Copies of this chain bind each other. A is one copy, B any other.
Amino acid sequence: MARPADPHAHEALRSAARREFVKSGIQKARIEDITHACGLSKGAFYLHFDSKEGLFRELVSEVEAELEELRTVRERHTQDFLARHGSVKPKDLKPGSAFVRALRSLHTREDQKLLELLWRWRDVVDVLLSGSQGTAFDGVMWRIIDREVVRVQEECEALKAVKLMRDDIPGEAVGLLLVGTYLLVARRLSSLEEKPDFDVWLTALQKLLAEGTAPRPHTRATRSSPFAASPRRAPPRAARGSRRSHP
C-alpha cells in the first residue's frame, strides 16, 4: 500500500465545517473556506464526504439520535418511577409531599440532560434553527420542537388525570411555554464561550411552573386549544405558478 491518508483530516474537516456553518449557514458556507481552514484543498473534501450537505447530514443524524435516546430514557424513567411508587394516594397530592418532590426532581434531572445535549450541540442546533433555509434540513428543528411540545402536553394531561395539575390551563399552553423557553435558551447558548450554570435556570423555571400550574380549589374546564391540529406549511418545492392572477 501507499500514502496513508492524514488521520486528522476527517475530524479536522468536520469541525472546520461546523465553525463555517455557524458563521455562514449551510448554503453560504463555502467548501473552499472549510478546506483552507485545515490546510487542505477543495478536492480533498470529496475524499471524506460525498457533499456539503452530506457532512451536515452526519451531524444532524447524531443530534437526532441523541435526542431520540433522551426521549426514550425519559419515558422509561418516568414509567419506572410510577411503577415503583404504585398508585397515587391522597397524601401524595399535597404540594410538598415526598411524591411530588421526587417527581419534580425527576423532571429536573431529565431537563438538565436536555440542556447538556443542547450545549454540546449548540452550533448545530443554531444552524438548524436559522441557517438551514433552502436545504434538506429546513424545518428539522421545528419538527423536533413540535414533537417536544406534544410530549410536554401529554405529560400535562397525565398530571391532570391524577389531579397533580390544575385543569383550567391547556397542556399545549404549558408545552409552548416550556419548549419556547428552551428554544430561546438554546439559541443563547450558541453565543456563549463557557457552559452556564443550568441549575440556576432550571430551579427558577421549575418554581414558576410548579406554582403556576399547581392544582386550584375551584377550576373550570379547559377550553379547547386554538392551535389544535394545525396543518404545517408544505415543504419547499419548485412552484409552477398559474399566470394572470391579478388582472
A39 proximity list for chain B (CB < 8 A):
243-247
A181 proximity list for chain B (CB < 8 A):
176-177, 180-181
Contact A207 B212 (CB under 8 A): yes
Number of A residues, CB within 8 Å of B:
80
- The residue among A25, A138, A173 with the most chain B CB atoms within 10 A of its own CB is A173
Any B CB within 8 A of the CB of A153: no
Copy count, this protein chain: 2
Contact B130 A204 (CB under 8 A): no
Stretch at the interface among A16-24, A47-55, A101-109: A16-24
Contact B169 A134 (CB under 8 A): no
Contact B208 A173 (CB under 8 A): yes
Interchain CB contact (< 8 A) of A241 among B8, B33, B246: B33
A239 proximity list for chain B (CB < 8 A):
20, 23-24, 33
Interchain CB contact (< 8 A) of A180 among B184, B200, B212: B184
- The residue among A139, A180, A192, A247 with the most chain B CB atoms within 10 A of its own CB is A180
Contact with B along A118-148 (1 / 0, CB 8 A): 0000000000011111100011001001000
Contact B25 A142 (CB under 8 A): no
Q: Give the Cβ gap from A173 to chain B, nearest Cβ, in Å.
A: 4
A168 proximity list for chain B (CB < 8 A):
204, 207
